[in-house]
Amino acid sequence: MDPSVRWDDVRGGGKLNVTHDCRSSPLTTDYPLPTTHYPLCSLLTTRSSLLAPPFPHSPYPTHSMNDLLAALLLGIIEGITEFLPISSTGHLLIAQHWLGARSDLFNIGIQAGAILAVVLIYRQRLWELLVGFREPRNRDYALKLGVAFAVTAVLGLVVKKLGWELDDAVAPIAWALIIGGFWMIAAEHFAAKRAQVLGERSTITWTVAILVGIAQVVAGVFPGTSRSGATIFVALLAGTTNRAAATEFAFLVGIPTMFAATAYELLDVVQAGTAADEDWAAFTVAFVASAVTAFIAVKWLLGYIQTHRFTAFAIYRIVLGALLLLLVPAAA
């Protein structure tokens, strides 16, 4: 019999063969193996539950077809939901209950993939701000983007250090979806009344910039809130009554915010020496899928809001949240 032991780490239905030479040293792992006897040439384990993988802390990433398919689905979900006011983080956390949990770098990194789509869509606007920075109008707008990002960065670091973060269980996400849905309906109602008084306003004030920066932090603390929804409606309520202008500013602020968040997590992974633990193949698949689907979703949304209100998204949030609450006992 071959003196080496081989077992298969199965995650998401896939297998990774790992070989250990029994003649050189005892077999030790950082996680419990499914049996205490290892004199087998091949030990195959099967995943009993998507919610409880047998090797949750396995240092060996899998590249199975099923795992890559799960990453593809998560990327598509992220791309569709990142800029629609329905909470991408909430949808990802819910999906991962069935598709398997992912690292913080994965979750934040694929959001950067979605942001890349915004860079492509607004490339002319970004180029205009860059080359025309000396023009007062462009400089004022760019500085307000910078202030909104600075507010998010400073408050975000404080929140990160203090560990302020809501539990990512299904129930809190469901309640955030429901409350956010009713808030969207009320906010759009008051924003419409404000627009009747103030008229159509596309100007981004300093107050709007600061409040949008704060809204991004709030959305990060409460999964299910929706970063895009929070920032767009804060801008509408604060005086930018034009939906297209409020949406553009919210999306552009998201570019440095999400790229910085991804860089922060990547630096954390490198410093911790856990970069080798990350499943980079799955990350790449999800990143590309997120960018492609986000491009399509944002293009659609920008056309949709020209003639429609956000009410349909609010109703979707409320219905989804209610359904999740009904399923909580079964999913808990």
Most confident of 8-12, 19-23, 94-98, 239-243: 239-243
Strands 4-11, 43-44: pairing kind: parallel
User: What's the CA dihedral at 69, 70, 76, 77 to 10 degrees?
Assistant: 160
Tell me, what's the pLDDT at 130?
Answer: 94
Tell me, what's the pLDDT at 123?
Answer: 95
pLDDT digits over 26-65, tens only? 444 444 444 333 333 332 333 333 333 433 444 444 456 6
Tell me, what's the pLDDT at 212?
Answer: 97
For residue 43, the cross-strand partners are 7
- Classify residue 54 by its DSSP letter: S
For range 179-184, the mean pLDDT:
93
- Boundary residue ending a domain (60, 82, 101): 60
Whether the CB-CB separation of 163 and 302 falls below 8 Å is answered with no
Helices (H), 2-87: 65-81
Q: Please check whether residues 111 and 205 belong to one and the same domain.
A: yes
For range 199-228, the mean pLDDT:
91
Q: Please check whether residues 256 and 281 belong to one and the same domain.
A: yes
Tell me, what's the pLDDT at 261?
Answer: 84
Quick one: pLDDT band at residue 19, thresholds 50, 70, 90?
A: very low
Q: Please check whether residues 9 and 84 belong to one and the same domain.
A: no
Tell me, what's the pLDDT at 78?
Answer: 92
3-state secondary structure string across 245-260: HHHHHHHHHHHHHHHH
Q: Please check whether residues 81 and 14 belong to one and the same domain.
A: no
pLDDT digits over 248-300, tens only? 999 999 999 988 888 888 888 888 877 777 888 999 999 999 999 999 999 99
Q: Please check whether residues 89 and 105 belong to one and the same domain.
A: yes
Q: Please check whether residues 128 and 35 belong to one and the same domain.
A: no
Tell me, what's the pLDDT at 10?
Answer: 38
Distance (Å) of CA 156 to CA 96, 142, 206, 217? 24, 21, 19, 6
Residue 250's identity, in one-letter code, is A
d(CA 310, CA 161): 34
Q: Of 74, 57, 71, 55, which Cα lies nearest the Cα of 15? A: 55
Q: Please check whether residues 26 and 41 belong to one and the same domain.
A: yes
pLDDT digits over 214-251, tens only? 999 998 888 888 889 999 999 999 989 888 999 999 99
Distance (Å) of CA 2 to CA 15, 27, 276? 20, 15, 29
Predicted confidence (pLDDT) at residue 144 exceeds the cutoff of 50: yes
Tell me, what's the pLDDT at 269?
Answer: 80
Q: Please check whether residues 11 and 149 belong to one and the same domain.
A: no
The parent domain of residue 42 ranges over 1-60
Question: What's the domain count of the chain?
Answer: 2
- Boundary residue ending a domain (60, 85, 110): 60
pTM over 0.75: no
Q: Please check whether residues 42 and 172 belong to one and the same domain.
A: no
Residue 304's identity, in one-letter code, is Y
Q: Please check whether residues 22 and 93 belong to one and the same domain.
A: no
Tell me, what's the pLDDT at 63?
Answer: 55
Tell me, what's the pLDDT at 171?
Answer: 85
Tell me, what's the pLDDT at 258?
Answer: 86
Predicted confidence (pLDDT) at residue 4 exceeds the cutoff of 80: no
Tell me, what's the pLDDT at 111?
Answer: 85
For residue 16, the cross-strand partners are 9
Q: Please check whether residues 42 and 91 belong to one and the same domain.
A: no
Predicted confidence (pLDDT) at residue 103 exceeds the cutoff of 80: yes
d(CA 244, CA 139): 20
For range 190-204, the mean pLDDT:
87
- Boundary residue ending a domain (60, 81, 97): 60
Q: Of 71, 76, 68, 67, which Cα lies nearest the Cα of 117? A: 76
The mean pLDDT value of the chain amounts to 80
Q: Please check whether residues 51 and 82 belong to one and the same domain.
A: no
Contacts of 239 (CB under 8 A, 6+ apart): 194, 198, 201, 203, 205, 207, 208
Tell me, what's the pLDDT at 167?
Answer: 67
Axis-axis angle for helices 243-272, 206-221 (nearest 10):
50
Predicted confidence (pLDDT) at residue 143 exceeds the cutoff of 90: yes
Tell me, what's the pLDDT at 76?
Answer: 95
Which sign, positive or negative, has the C-alpha torsion 200, 203, 207, 212?
A: positive
